[in-house]
Amino acid sequence: MEMKVETRKNVQVQDVSPSGMKIIWQEIKRDKLAMGSLITLAAILIFVYGASFFMDAKEIAKVDFLSIYLEPSSDYWLGTDYGGRDVFGQLIVGTRNSFTISLFITLFTAIIGLTLGLLAGYFGGATDNVIMRVIDFVIALPQLMFIVVVVTIVPVFNVYVFILIMTMFLWTGKARLIRSKALSERELDYIHASQTLGTPHWKIILFQLLPNVSSLIIVNFILNLAGNIGLESSLTFLGFGLPESSPSLGTLISYARNPDVLENKWWIWVPASLMILVLMLSINFVGQALKRAADARQRRG
Amino acid sequence: MWKFILRRLVVMIPQLFLLSIIVFMMAKAMPGDALSGQELNPNSNPAELDRIREELGLNDPWYQQYGRWAANAVQGDFGISYTHKTPVMDVIEDRLWNTVFLAFVTLIFTYMLAIPLGILSGRYNDTWVDKTVTGYSYLGFGTPIFIFALIMLFIFGFALDWLPSGGSVDSKVDEGTFAYVVSKINHLILPALSTALIATTSTIQYLRNEIIDNKIKDFVRTARSKGVPESNVYSRHILRNSFLPIAAFLGYEITGLIGGSVIIETIFSYPGLGQLFLSSVNLRDFSVVTAIVMMTGFATLLGTLLSDIILSAVDPRIRIE
């Protein structure tokens, strides 16, 4: 559902001026909320990735039945879970895992979406038709259910397979977006001129078309990253995402499916929920600022 | 118009065919087969089981099996549920109505919230009203539904204890009484409201942008210069044009609700299709899983079809393509 909202919104992004990066940076500097979000995000990521270097992942995953469901204290900053494991440590590892995995999913969907979108948009005709029919079909599937079923029936399941499965279902929105942009772009004079001069198609696509859709890609990448963090943690929450041995933020929140934990043991699920909210919102705010920067009509400055 | 609908229907046939093949392949990849669903003598020897398998045609080539499966599925026969020991359709039926009911109420909540807010925010754009509404819709856009639903459940279901925290109806009340209806509605409010508060986001943004775009169009200026009162400019001229795309997204909205039912029904332990789906996956009751995936897949295809048809009715430019 989230995917769809993003694509619908992004369709409005038009007219990108060539000096994109500079304008983007100016727009972020001008927007206090986006700037604050960027700083928060950077701080969280540096802390989480830095701290996980010094932490012993095995130590965190070790079950200790003498310290089950402890409340937050100076020993355990955020208490312990049903296995006596430190919630704070799990929060750090979970944030790292959630972010890394979402980043990879976004990256892979971007590569597939970009390739197919550019091909469909640039060549049009039969190529476009075939690719679009596939996209129409995949986009209409109830994705969450399909992901759950595929996760259940794959013979080997680990983090890499999970990333692959997610990629399989999530590339379509991006491809459609880039295709529509490429479709309008190829009618412009600079492409026609290059074609007349005999520049090979791959050169036109890589060196002329790609730079002109780049800001659209960046904006979409960032908004998708936020969406994927939500989707990954939703799936893990339901029990069909990352295995418990590599905890994600969704793992911590999934303990709240037990009503007792939800009602009485807030320290297990509230910090992880807040972390997801902060991550997703700050990534989104940065993305929205970039989107304004990419659209001259909405620019603030 | 009719030509477009017909062409759109023709496109849907291969989609439906492809969907059914994929679902069938998934079903084949799942452990267990039709025999797992029946009460068999646990002492039957493997040779006997093989003979029955042969009789049921489970050793036939896949396309023959697919043909039989599809023919049965069209008639609503998805086999026997392994855990419930009854035909799959009987298990699904009650749950289906619960989900449809929940989706319907959610849809009403969503539009009741989104339409006034979108109109306010578009009409008075760049005022504090607009900024508040836009802020809310950004928050909604960035909040995953499962976290929001958990927070709602925690606050209203447990901490304040205003609303029931799970189920679809109180077990103590009798069916058909007034108390039964009240209890049913009480159980709906929390899941429906949690979904609706998040789902409004896209509708609000769309309505707002449409209104702002339409405000400066020539037909609005003409209306104003004719002396049409401001309230009529909005109700007769701007809104009528701005609502069109919103109406068209109805189908996608339904599609999203069906997909989202898995999460929301699990959190509120609401006995609908989504919850049945997850529990069946966990119990490895794959005949039920297959049936649900096939049905929701079909429903989402229909939802997309509905939206496309409304869109083309509203905007003739789409038909030309």
What is the reported pLDDT for A9? 47
A205-250 residue pLDDT tens: 888 888 888 878 888 899 899 999 999 999 998 888 887 777 888 8
pLDDT of A75 above 70:
no
CB pairs under 8 A between A and B: 121
What are the E-state strand segments in chain A? none
For chain B, what percent of residues have pLDDT higher than 90?
A: 5
Q: Scan residues 113-132 of B and list those with Cβ closer than 8 Å to A.
A: none
Q: CA-to-CA distance for B203 and B106, rounded, in angstroms?
A: 14
The answer to whether the CB atoms of B143 and A144 lie below 8 A apart is no
Chain A residues touching residue B205 (CB < 8 angstroms):
9
Distance CA A254, CA A249 (A): 9
Answer yes or no: do B278 and A152 touch at CB < 8 A.
no
Cβ atoms A110, A177 nearer than 8 A: no
CA distance A197 to chain B (A): 31
Among B64, B56, B65, which Cα is nearest to B28's? B65
**A47 three-class SS:** helix
Collect all residues of chain A within an 8 Å Cβ-Cβ radius of residue B292.
Answer: 145
pLDDT of the residue at A6: 46
Q: Contact at 8 Å (CB) between A106 and A224?
A: yes
Least-confidence region, from A34-38, A195-199, B116-120, B161-165: B161-165
Of the listed ranges B122-126, B165-169, B224-228, the least confidently predicted one is: B165-169
Q: Calculate how close chain A gets to B199, using CA atoms only, in Å.
A: 9
Of A230, A262, A269, the CB nearest to B158: A262
How confident is the prediction for chain B on average, in pLDDT?
81
Q: What CATH topology corresponds to A73-294?
A: MetI-like fold (1.10.3720)
Interface of B with A in 133-192 (CB under 8 A): 138-139, 141-147, 150-151, 153-154, 158-159, 165-166
Average pLDDT value over all residues in chain A: 81
* Nearest-Cα residue of chain A relative to residue B159: A263
Q: How far does the CA of residue B85 sit from the closest CA of chain A (Å)? A: 22
DSSP helix/strand/coil, A8? helix
Q: Is the pLDDT of residue A5 over 50?
A: no
State the Cα–Cα distance between residues B288 and B155, nearest whole angstrom: 34
Q: Which of residues 30-89 of B touch A (CB under 8 A)?
A: 30
Cβ contacts (< 8 Å) between A140 and chain B: which residues? 15, 255, 300-301, 304
Look at A152 and B30 and tell me if their CB atoms are within 8 Å: yes
Write out the two tokens for B316. Answer: 């003739």
CB contact under 8 A, B150 and A273: yes
Rg of chain A taking only CA atoms, in angstroms: 22
Mapped to the 3 state alphabet, what secondary structure does chain A carry?
CHHHHHHHHHCCCCCCCCCHHHHHHHHHHHCHHHHHHHHHHHHHHHHHHHHHHHCCHHHHHCCCHHHCCCCCCCCCCCCECCCCCEHHHHHHHHHHHHHHHHHHHHHHHHHHHHHHHHHHHHHCHHHHHHHHHHHHHHHHCCHHHHHHHHHHHCCCCCHHHHHHHHHHHHCHHHHHHHHHHHHHHCCCHHHHHHHHHCCCHHHHHHHHHHHHHHHHHHHHHHHHHHHHHHHHHHHHHHCCCCCCCCCCHHHHHHHHHCHHHHHHCHHHHHHHHHHHHHHHHHHHHHHHHHHHHHCCCCCCC
Burial code of A180-203, b = ≥16 C-beta within 10 A, e = fewer?
bbbeebbeeeebeebeeeeeeeee
Per-residue pLDDT band for B213 (boundaries 50, 70, 90) equals confident
Question: Which DSSP category does B76 fall into?
Answer: T
Contacts of A281 in chain B (CB under 8 A): 138-139, 142-143
Among A238, A99, A242, A83, smallest CA distance to A165 is for A242
User: Which range scores top for mean pLDDT: A264-268, A274-278, B177-181?
Assistant: A274-278
Residues of chain B neighbouring A12 (CB-CB closer than 8 A): 209
Query: Is residue A172 scored above 80 in pLDDT?
Result: yes
Chain B neighbors of A148, CB-CB under 8 A: 262, 277-278, 281
Which of the pair, A105 or A25, is modelled with greater confidence? Answer: A105
Q: Rounded to an integer, what distance in angstroms lies between the CA atom of residue B128 and that of residue B138?
A: 15
Q: Is the Cβ pair A284, B154 closer than 8 Å? A: no
Contacts of A153 in chain B (CB under 8 A): 26, 29-30
By C-alpha distance, the chain B residue nearest A272 is B147
Q: Evaluate if residue B43 carries a pLDDT over 50.
A: yes
pLDDT of residue A76: 67
Pick from A202, A161, A173, A159: which is nearest to A110 by CA? A173
Find all residues with CB under 8 Å of A236, minimum gap 6, and list them: A242, A248, A249, A250, A251, A254
Query: B256 touching A, CB under 8 A?
Result: yes
Range from A190-194, B43-47, B83-87 carrying the lowest mean pLDDT: B43-47
Lowest mean pLDDT segment, chosen from A9-18, B20-29, B220-229: A9-18
DSSP-based three-state secondary structure for A80 = strand
Rounded to an integer, what distance in angstroms lies between the CA atom of residue A209 and that of residue A120? 13
Q: For residue A106, is pLDDT > 90?
A: yes
Distances (CA, A) of A240 to A98, A150, A235, A278, B258: 14, 10, 5, 23, 18
Contacts with A233 from chain B: Cβ below 8 Å: 144, 146
Helices (H), B145-217: 145-152, 178-215
User: Residue A287's closest CA among A200, A226, A198, A244?
Assistant: A226
Per-residue pLDDT of B273-283, as tens digits, reads: 888 898 888 88
Structure tokens given for A175: 């491809």
User: ipTM exceeding 0.90?
Assistant: no
Contact between B87 and B77 under an 8 Å Cβ cutoff? The reply is: yes
Chain B's closest residue to A8, CA to CA, is B202
- CB contact (8 A) between residue A273 and residue B289: no
* Domains annotated on chain B, with CATH: 91-270 (1.10.3720.10)
Q: Residue A7: its pLDDT value, please? A: 46
CB contact under 8 A, B154 and A262: yes
Q: From A1, which residue of chain B is nearest by alpha-carbon distance?
A: B256
HSE at residue B288, side-chain half, CA atoms within 13 A, is 28
Contact state of A8 with B260 under an 8 Å Cβ cutoff? no
Dist. CA A164–CA B307, nearest whole Å: 30
Per CB-CB distance under 8 Å, the chain B contacts of A284 are 138, 141-142
**Stretch 207-226 of chain B: residues touching chain A, C-beta under 8 Å:** 209
Q: How far apart are CA B202 and CA A6, in angstroms?
A: 9
CA distances from A226 to A99, A151, B140, B185 (A): 9, 22, 13, 34
Q: CA-to-CA distance for B78 and B289, rounded, in angstroms? A: 10
What letter represents residue A111's amino acid? I
> What's residue A101's pLDDT?
92
Domain edges within chain A? 73-294
Give B248's pLDDT tier (boundaries 50, 70, 90): confident
CA B318 to chain CA centroid, nearest Å = 25
